C-alpha cells in the first residue's frame, strides 16, 4: 500500500468526525499546529499528540505505516483532531427549500403523504401575513393541494396542524456525506456510526 494514499479521519474540536483528508494534508495540519494526532492504540483511552510528541512516538513505532525522511520516521496518523476554532467546519444545515424537504422526509406535514420534489411546497405554519417567520420552526413541507387548502389561515382556523413540530434539524449525519463511502481504518469505528450494511470495512 502506498502510505501517502491512505486516508485520515478529521475530528473537530468536539471530537465529531467532520472530514476525511489525505496524509499530506493531515501532516501539514499537524506541523502548523492546527491539529493533533489521535492515538487509539491504548486500551485506556485516546491519547493526543502534537507534532513534537508524535515525532517521538514515531521513533519507537515498529509498524509499517510510516513516512521516512533522511533522519526520521513519522508514523502515519489515522485520525487527527483539529485544535483551532477557525478550523471548525460550518456543518450547520442551511435553511432552504431542499433541506426542509429532507428534514420532513419529503412528506406533506398535513396529509402525511410522500411526494416528489416538484409536487411539494414550503408552507408557513403561521402565515407570513399574520407575522409568521420564514424559519426552521415555522416552515414545513406541504403538498400543493394541502398548501392551497390551508392558504393564509392559522392552523386552528384551517384545522390543519403539522404532523411533526417543526424545528431545526441536528447536523447532517457524517456518514451521509458523499466523501465517506467506507471506513479506512478500524480505529475510525470509535467515531463513526455506520448504518448497517451501507459501509464496509476495508482493513
Candidate ranges 119-127, 137-145, 154-162, 170-178; the one touching Zn ion (CB under 5 A):
137-145
Least spacing, CB of residue 147 vs Zn ion, in Å? 7
Least spacing, CB of residue 46 vs Zn ion, in Å? 48
Contact flag: residue 120 with Zn ion (CB under 5 A): no
Contact flag: residue 122 with Zn ion (CB under 5 A): no
User: 110 vs 174, which CB is nearer to Zn ion?
Assistant: 110
User: By C-alpha distance, which of 165, 163, 167 is closest to 112?
Assistant: 163
Asked if 41 contacts 79 with a C-beta cutoff of 8 angstroms, the reply is: no
Least spacing, CB of residue 144 vs Zn ion, in Å? 8
Report the alpha-carbon distance of residue 48 to residue 81 in Å, rounded.
8
Contact flag: residue 110 with Zn ion (CB under 5 A): yes
Contact flag: residue 38 with Zn ion (CB under 5 A): no
Q: Residue-wise over 151-173: b if at least 16 C-beta within 10 A, else e?
A: eeeeeeeeebebeeebeeeeeee
Candidate ranges 81-89, 106-114, 118-126, 169-177; the one touching Zn ion (CB under 5 A):
106-114
Contact flag: residue 143 with Zn ion (CB under 5 A): yes
Question: CB-based contacts of 166: which residues, under 8 Å, 6+ apart?
Answer: 103, 104, 109, 125, 136, 137, 138, 139, 140
Contact flag: residue 111 with Zn ion (CB under 5 A): yes
DSSP, collapsed to helix, strand or coil, labels residue 155 as helix
Contact flag: residue 146 with Zn ion (CB under 5 A): yes
User: By C-alpha distance, which of 27, 29, 50 is closest to 38?
Assistant: 50
By the criterion CB under 5 A, which residues form the site for Zn ion? 108, 110-111, 143, 146
Amino acid at each position: 500500500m502506498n502510505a501517502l494514499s491512505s486516508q485520515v479521519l478529521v475530528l473537530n474540536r468536539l471530537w465529531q468526525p467532520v472530514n476525511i483528508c489525505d496524509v499530506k494534508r493531515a501532516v501539514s495540519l499537524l506541523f502548523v499546529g492546527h491539529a493533533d494526532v489521535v492515538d487509539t492504540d491504548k486500551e485506556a483511552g485516546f491519547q493526543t499528540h502534537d507534532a513534537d510528541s508524535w515525532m517521538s512516538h514515531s521513533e519507537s513505532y515498529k509498524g509499517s505505516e510510516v513516512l521516512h525522511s533522511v533522519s526520521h520516521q513519522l508514523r502515519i496518523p489515522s485520525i487527527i483532531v483539529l485544535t483551532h476554532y477557525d478550523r471548525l467546519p460550518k456543518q450547520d444545515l442551511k435553511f432552504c427549500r431542499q433541506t426542509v424537504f429532507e428534514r420532513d422526509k419529503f412528506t406533506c406535514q398535513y396529509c402525511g403523504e410522500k411526494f416528489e420534489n416538484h409536487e411539494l411546497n414550503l408552507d408557513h405554519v403561521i402565515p407570513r401575513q399574520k407575522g409568521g417567520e420564514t424559519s426552521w420552526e415555522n416552515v414545513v413541507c406541504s403538498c400543493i393541494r394541502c398548501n392551497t387548502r390551508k392558504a393564509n389561515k392559522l392552523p386552528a382556523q384551517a384545522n390543519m396542524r403539522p404532523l411533526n413540530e417543526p424545528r431545526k434539524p441536528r447536523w447532517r449525519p457524517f456518514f451521509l456525506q458523499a466523501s465517506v463511502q467506507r471506513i479506512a481504518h478500524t480505529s475510525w469505528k470509535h467515531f463513526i456510526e455506520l448504518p448497517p450494511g451501507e459501509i464496509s470495512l476495508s482493513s
